[in-house]
Amino acid sequence: MRLVLLGPPGSGKGTQAARLKEYLQVPHISTGDLLRAEVAAGTPLGVQAKEIMARGDFVSDEILLGMLEDRFARPDTANGFILDGYPRNLVQADALGVLLERIRQPMDFAVQLEVPTDLLVERIAGRAKAEGRDDDSPDVVRNRLDKYTSQTAPVIEYYRQHGQLTVVDGVGSLDEVFSRLIEALAPAKEVG
């Protein structure tokens, strides 16, 4: 199963992706996690990305694509993947299409987790307390949500127009949303 998970910050993408990974037995590739690992390791890329991420801005498309190419080169992606946090703009959506075509791994689904904005703000505030992410402060959250609306929402339209989009209601408990996701993915899971 080759899956792209789309949804705004706070939509529960990361949490659901972690569960789906167990269910589908494919790796969860989170570009945010990959970047945070670079930051934690203090690599040159991490040093470059740190401040950009702390502002809630996007790290460059070139860096993201390079990171993703490296990640897809690892053998655990042979049976599929759950991609979380990418693509975040139309340039990245095109780049992903080209990359997946090249490695002959066309995506099965782009799934949008749909959550109303007021609930997002609430959830992120809760997460800020629990995890202490430095990009969860109110100003930065606003910037991340604005970026989502202006740059990532068009990606959803792009997949909709290509007939690849599945929309899943992201409001409810983790279990409820997970059940909806599994239901939405069921036809493709049969095929493998």
CA torsion sign, 169 to 157 to 184 to 110? negative
Active site residue 13: yes
Task: Locate the DSSP E strands across the chain.
Answer: 2-6, 28-30, 81-84, 109-114, 165-169
Is 93 near ligand AMP (CB under 6 A)?
no
Between β-strands 109-114 and 81-84, what pairing exists: parallel, antiparallel or unpaired? unpaired
Say whether 53 sits in a helix, a strand or coil. helix
The count of chain residues that interact with ligand AMP, using the rule CB under 6 A, is: 17
- Give me the least distance between CB of 124 and ligand AMP, in Å please: 10
Say whether 50 sits in a helix, a strand or coil. helix
- Give me the least distance between CB of 85 and ligand AMP, in Å please: 3
Is 23 near ligand AMP (CB under 6 A)?
no
Stretch that binds ligand AMP, among 19-27, 56-64, 93-101, 173-181 (CB under 6 A): 56-64
Options 5, 29, 64, 96; binder of ligand AMP; rule CB under 6 A? 64
- Give me the least distance between CB of 107 and ligand AMP, in Å please: 15
Q: Looking at 2, 50, 127, 147, which residue is catalytic?
A: 127
Distance of CA 124 to the CA centre of its chain: 16
Residues identified as active-site = 13, 88, 127, 133, 144
